Amino acid sequence: MYPRKLGKKDALRHYKNWRKSNKENTYELMLNKLNTYLKYLRIKHIPLEYTLHGSTWFNGRYDDELDMAPAKPRFNQQVKPVRRATNWDKVQQQQSQTTPQMTQEERNAIFREYGR
């Protein structure tokens, strides 16, 4: 049931010592703590390589206070606003519409005045 299978022998030894130390230490209590820890791992998206070894967890880490708030996005996984690339065809069309166009007569008049 514990996700990481390293240190099983030591984990069993720590669990047996924990059970012997107090009558209130029951299988159901440990199962509840383990389910809470598994839920914590899912909420925080903690990969298996960062999960505690069984021997470590059963040696007192089961009493750790766990922050069950949802995981915040990491700095490199944040959604950053991306600016759209400029559509230069559209810009050129808008400029040509707003720029007054000279008629052929006006062009001819300028060429006559200044010469070709």
Residues 6+ apart with CB under 8 A from 45: 71
Question: What pLDDT score does 77 carry?
Answer: 63
pLDDT band at 26 (very low <50, low <70, confident <90, very high): very high
Residue 94 predicted with pLDDT over 90: no
Burial group, residue 69, by CB count within 10 angstroms (0-12, 13-18, 19+): exposed
> Mean pLDDT over all residues of the chain?
86
| Least trusted range by pLDDT, from 4-13, 19-28, 58-67, 95-104 | 95-104
pLDDT given for residue 4 in this prediction: 85
- Write down the pLDDT at residue 7: 86
Q: Dihedral sign for Cα 25, 30, 33, 37, please.
A: positive
Q: Is 101 helix (H, G, I), strand (E, B) or coil?
A: coil
Question: Predicted confidence band at 34 (pLDDT cuts at 50, 70, 90)?
Answer: very high
Nearest to 54 by CA among 87, 21, 18, 26: 18
What is the pTM for the complete model shown? 0.59
